[in-house]
Structure 1
Amino acid sequence: MIVKLLEGQIPICVELACALAAQALALPVPAPGLVIADRLDLPGLPPRFRGDTLLLLGSSYKIPDALFVQVLSENPAAEELAWSKLCESPTGPQGAIWDELVANADRHVENALFDGNKWWLFDHDLALPSAADYVKGCADRVTRQSARVFSAKFNQLAEQMVSRYPNCDELEKREAELKRRKENLMLMTAVARNWRHPDATIDGILSRTAVLLELIELRLPAIAQLMARRTNQPSAQDLWTSHLGHSPGRR
């Protein structure tokens, strides 16, 4: 596994929830894990991290394609080439929808990897920016509604897709695919609610992760509306309410 040390429990829960949700939705995000590491095995650890053992977030290791890495390193327009190849692949539209679903504004070419066969997406600790409030007040109706329709300020992959393929219907196809897998996500959420661990810290992380899986599940029915807003296209809901003589989004 590739492991990383995150400050605070919420970023760990967010990464874990996103990776687990991606597994349920059959998306190209590496499988996650929690890793307990001995302090002595972490050279250069900043002194603000205390304790003899630390909890890290892991993701299954994907080996980058050496030839593609070499091409990028020798290409003055490497970033543009990487975006182009990513958007041409099935991961392009999948990732655009995924980043909208988890409100991930931190997608860049450094957190996408080509292994010679497919593109993988990783690093989601800045996704679900409403996570902390949702975990504390998930039963509150206002908090739930706000979290359901929240949009990140940026969705770089969606913007790259739309700029290259303005009339592409792949985004709508991927939206439909995700919705068809909703039951898998619901099952993952139900299973996660029953996870327990004797260590209080890990147990707390697991319980919060289950709550965040519920949040992702809650956002899934609104994905078409969120993507329509992102790409400045009318959603089915907007067209319906406009036809009835109401302003979009109002009943």
Structure 2
Amino acid sequence: MLVERVAVGNMLPGGVPFNDCNVNPTWRAHVQTSDGVKVAFVKLIEPRSLYIECVCAVIGRSLGLPIPAPLIVKVTNTALSDIPHGEARLAFGSEDAKYPSFRRYINSDSKEAMDKLAAFSKTLDVGIFDEWVANWDRNIGNMLYDGKDDFYFIDHENAIPQGLAYNVPARGNEILRCLYSHLSEFEKHKLSKAVSSTFIPNFRSLPFALLSEKTMASHYLGDDEITEVVCFLTERLNCINALFDHRVDIKQQGMAI
């Protein structure tokens, strides 16, 4: 399975602060890359969070999930006056998908918006992916919606929390809880079989050994932290079915007689 390399760029002057209830300082800015200037949302986060964002973006995109292209962005005083002269910070960039957050539509018509999310072809895939990477922070602010039938999913910095054991559920998974935990037991068992027969084999086919290279992690993170993330993902694959069944509150089937 092909895993793309995260592009690197420099934040250009003129970035505009962006606030949509986001926690970290974020700017909508132009980023100069080897492929030209790209418009991206650039946020200043710690090195491990940068790595997590990059890892989730590249493996998610390899799995066909609608996640904007990631960028590693060098930020200097030329672009942002808060950075001391002569210094530079690495930030995470997410190419502008040009969709507003789902929050806008939930606030105006919750039922229709949730129906659209439930009908979207990749919603289940994203929910299972979030369970694998232990992304507890999926919310209406980090789902982007075009107002019709299309979605993008962003912000994975809270995935793979430090200290979480690979076999322990994350704090939450709003997609699976809201959209799939209320299905009939028959439907939930069908989905559980799909997790085993389709999703886990796809996850296993990812070239985990290339993640450090594709995210250029060795340039900003220690080897132990890089290895810890890969180990978490590979070991958690053995628990995905149990974690999914727990999340949707699936009942154990009795013996057929």
- TM-score of the superposed pair, with normalisation by structure 2: 0.67
Which residue of 223, 227, 231 maps to 2:240?
A: 223
- SS of 1:7's equivalent in the other structure is coil
Shift of 1:227: 0.4
Q: Could you tell me which runs of 5 or more consecutive residues in structure 2 were left unpaired when the two chains were aligned.
A: 1-38
Q: Is the 8 A contact 1:65 1:114 kept in 2?
A: yes
Q: Is the 8 A contact 1:18 1:124 kept in 2?
A: yes
Counterpart-to-counterpart distance in 2, 1:103 and 1:149: 10
Counterpart-to-counterpart distance in 2, 1:121 and 1:55: 22
The residue aligned with 1:52 is 87
Q: Is the 8 A contact 1:13 1:206 kept in 2?
A: no
1:1-251 matches, cutoff 5 A: 1-42=39-80, 45=82, 52-64=87-99, 72=105, 75=108, 77-78=109-110, 80-115=111-146, 118-130=150-162, 133=163, 147-162=165-180, 165-167=183-185, 168-169=187-188, 171-172=191-192, 173=194, 176-185=197-206, 187=207, 189-194=208-213, 203-205=219-221, 207=223, 208-209=225-226, 211-234=228-251
Counterpart-to-counterpart distance in 1, 2:53 and 2:86: 22
Q: Aligned pairs, how many? A: 212
- SS of 1:103's equivalent in the other structure is coil
- TM-score of the superposed pair, with normalisation by structure 1: 0.69
Structure 1 letter corresponding to 2:60: A
- SS of 2:74's equivalent in the other structure is strand
**Are the structure 2 counterparts of residues 196 and 113 from structure 1 closer, same or farther at C-alpha, using a change threshold of 3 Å?**
closer
Counterpart-to-counterpart distance in 1, 2:58 and 2:197: 20
Counterpart-to-counterpart distance in 1, 2:106 and 2:78: 34
- SS of 2:220's equivalent in the other structure is helix
CA RMSD in angstroms comes to 3.5
- SS of 2:90's equivalent in the other structure is strand
Q: Is the 8 A contact 2:76 2:85 kept in 1?
A: no
Identity %: 22
**Are the structure 2 counterparts of residues 154 and 86 from structure 1 closer, same or farther at C-alpha, using a change threshold of 3 Å?**
same
Structure 2 letter corresponding to 1:178: F
